[in-house]
Amino acid sequence: MTKHSVQNSLLVLNSVIDRYDTKNRPVSNNGSAMQLRAKLDVSLGDDGADMSELEEMALNYLNINPDVSSAKFNKLLYSGLNAPALFGDWVTSISNATMHTYQVSPVATLMELELINQWNKLVGFNQGEGVMVSGGSQANLIAMLLARHKACPQAKTQGIRQTLVAYVSDQAHYSSLKAINVLGIGSDNLISVASDEQGRIIPAALEEAIKISMSLGHRPFYVGLTAGTTVLGAYDPVAPCAAIAKHFDLWLHIDGAWGAPILFSSKHRHLLADANLADSVAWDAHKLMNVPLTAAVILTKEQGLLKEVCSGGGSDYLFHADENAAYNLGERSIQCGRRADALKVWMSWKAIGNKGFEEKIDYLQQLKTDFVALLAKSRFELLHQPSYLNVLFRYNSAETLSEQGHKTLCIDICAKLKQQDIAYSDYASCKGRSGIRLILANANINIEQLQKMLTACDVIVISLLAERDYSAL
Ligand SMILES: Cc1ncc(COP(=O)(O)O)c(C=O)c1O
C-alpha cells in the first residue's frame, strides 16, 4: 500500500503528469452523464483506498474532462494555461492559508494588496481599494451591495423599505440577475436596457429607463456597464453613462470580468476608456489571464467603503485589535474562509509582467482581425463587428434559412467539430440570431489552426446541408 503523505502525493502527481498525454487526447471526450456513470466508478465506501487507486482516478479525471488548455478549446472565456499561476495554485494548497486575518495569511495579504494596487493603477483609481473574490459573479454582487448601501445605508441593519432599481444592458451577464435576487431587491427591479447592433448599451435608452422608474416613484441606485460582454465582447460606452449616473446620483459599476485586461494594452485600451469614471470595477484573473479558477477582484474608487458595508461580527474571537488590524482583509469581504488566490495571480504577474499580458492581448487581437479576414472569404458571415476576442459567425445562407434552421445548423456544426476533434466550440444566440461563438483566450492558438477549423466548418456544412433540409425548420 502506498502511503498517504505530501511527498508521496507529489511523486504520484509527477507520475500522473508524465502519463497524461495531452498531445494525443481529444479536446473533449465526454458523453452523456448516464454513459459516464456506467463506466466510471465514483462510489465511496467504508474502506480506504491507497494512492495507486487515486492515481488512476486522477488520470481518468484529466482525460475525461475537456482539455481547456488545448488550442482547440474555444468554447468558453478561460481557454489556455498559465504555468506560473498553476505553480502558485499548488503552493497555495500546500499552505492552505485563509485570507480573513493577516495573522494566518501574512504573505498572501501583502500580495493581495499589491495586486489591488496594480489593478487600481490600470483602471485609474488613484486612491482605490478592493478585495479578491470568487469570480465576476461575486464581484458584481458586491458592487450592487455597495450601491445599495450608498442609496439606502439603513438597509444594512433594517432591510430595504423602498423600491430600488438597477440598470444593465440586455447583453449583461446573468450574474446581475442573481445579485439583485440575493440582495432582496427583487429581479423585477433589474431593468434590461436596449443595446445597439454591436451589443453596446444605448445611453439615451438608459436615461429614459431611469426617468420612467422615477416617474413611478422608484429609487434608481445602480448602473452596471459591461466591458467585454459574454457573447459579443462589446464594451459599453463609459463616459456618456457616467454623466447620466452622476446626474441622477447613481452608482456606476463596470463588469470587466472578461474584458478589463484590455487595459494592459496601450494599443487597445481605448476600448475601455474612462474606466476611472466608474465607482467600481470587476476583473477576473481566471478568464483572459488564465489563472486557475478562482481568481477575481472587486475594485472600488472609495477607500473604506468595503469594510463599512461588508464587516460585521467576529471581533470577539477573530478580528483582534492588534498592530496588524488594518491588514485583516476579511473585514472587506463577505466570506470568512477565503482561499489565498493572491499567490497564483501574483506568481503569474511576476513571471509574465505587464508587458507579457500586453503582448498576449495584442497577439490575440491581431489573430481576431486575421480570422475575420478569413471569414470574409468563406461561406460564413459575421453577426457583428468584433471589437474584442469574441467572434460570432454562421453559415451565410443568403436568407434561405429561418432562425431555427440556423440554430440547428450551428448546433450540428459544433457537434461535428467536437466529434472529429477539430475544435470544442459552442453556439450562442444574440438579438434573435444564432451563431458559432469563437473565443480567443488562448495565446497558443494560431491562424493556421483557425484556418483548419474554418475549412472543416466548410466541409461539415456542405455535408449537413446535403443530409438534412434545414430550410424546412
Ligand atoms: C461579462 C461577464 N461577467 C461576469 C461573469 C461571471 O464571472 P464568474 O464566472 O467569474 O463568476 C462572466 C462569465 O462568463 C461574464 O462573461
Report yes or no on 215 lying in a domain.
Answer: yes
230 CA: nearest ligand 1 atom = 16
Number of domains in the chain: 3
- Cα separations in angstroms, 399 against 276, 454, 465: 44, 21, 14
CATH number, domain of 128, equals 3.40.640.10
- 393 shares a domain with 313: no
276/265 Cα distance (integer angstroms) = 16
| Residue entry with cell 499589491 | 114
- 295 shares a domain with 414: no
* Contact of 175 with 136, CB cutoff 8 Å: yes
293 CA: nearest ligand 1 atom = 10
Task: Tell me the pLDDT tens digit for each residue of 36-72.
Answer: 999 999 999 999 999 999 999 999 999 999 999 999 9
Task: Tell me the pLDDT tens digit for each residue of 72-85.
Answer: 999 999 999 999 99
DSSP 419: H
Report yes or no on 78 lying in a domain.
Answer: no
- 235 shares a domain with 140: yes
Report yes or no on 173 lying in a domain.
Answer: yes
DSSP string, 56-77: HHHHHHHHHS--TTSTTB-SST
pTM: 0.97
Q: Using most ligand atoms within 8 A of CB, pick from 133, 174, 235, 258 the residue to mutate for ligand 1.
A: 258
Report yes or no on 327 lying in a domain.
Answer: yes
- The residue from 326, 349, 372 where one domain ends is 349
Looking at ligand 1, which residue's alpha carbon is closest to its atom 4? 136
- 396 shares a domain with 324: no
Q: How confident is the model at residue 2 (pLDDT cuts 50, 70, 90)?
A: low
CATH number, domain of 443, equals 3.90.1150.10
Interval between CA 327 and ligand 1 midpoint (Å): 28
- The residue from 284, 315, 349 where one domain ends is 349
- 293 shares a domain with 195: yes
- 396 shares a domain with 251: no
- 262 shares a domain with 288: yes
Report yes or no on 59 lying in a domain.
Answer: yes
Helix (H/G/I), strand (E/B), else coil: 421? coil
* Contact of 62 with 16, CB cutoff 8 Å: yes
State residue 333's pLDDT score.
98
Report yes or no on 294 lying in a domain.
Answer: yes
DSSP string, 124-163: T-TT-EEEEESSHHHHHHHHHHHHHHHH-TTHHHH---S-
- The residue from 302, 320, 349 where one domain ends is 349
- 281 shares a domain with 223: yes
210/220 Cα distance (integer angstroms) = 6
394/413 Cα distance (integer angstroms) = 10
Report yes or no on 452 lying in a domain.
Answer: yes
Separation of first and last alpha carbons in the chain: 60
Task: Tell me the pLDDT tens digit for each residue of 377-395.
Answer: 999 999 999 999 999 999 9
Helix (H/G/I), strand (E/B), else coil: 253? strand
Other Cβ atoms less than 10 A from the Cβ of 223: the count is 29
Q: Which residues pair with 168 in a beta bridge?
A: 192, 224
Asked whether the predicted pLDDT for residue 455 surpasses 60, the reply is yes
Please give the residue range of the domain that contains residue 207.
Answer: 88-349
Task: Tell me the pLDDT tens digit for each residue of 256-312.
Answer: 999 999 999 999 999 999 999 999 999 999 999 999 999 999 999 999 999 999 999
Report yes or no on 244 lying in a domain.
Answer: yes
- 181 shares a domain with 136: yes
Ligand 1 pocket by C-beta < 6 Å: which residues?
77, 135-137, 173, 175, 226, 229-230, 255, 257-258, 284, 296
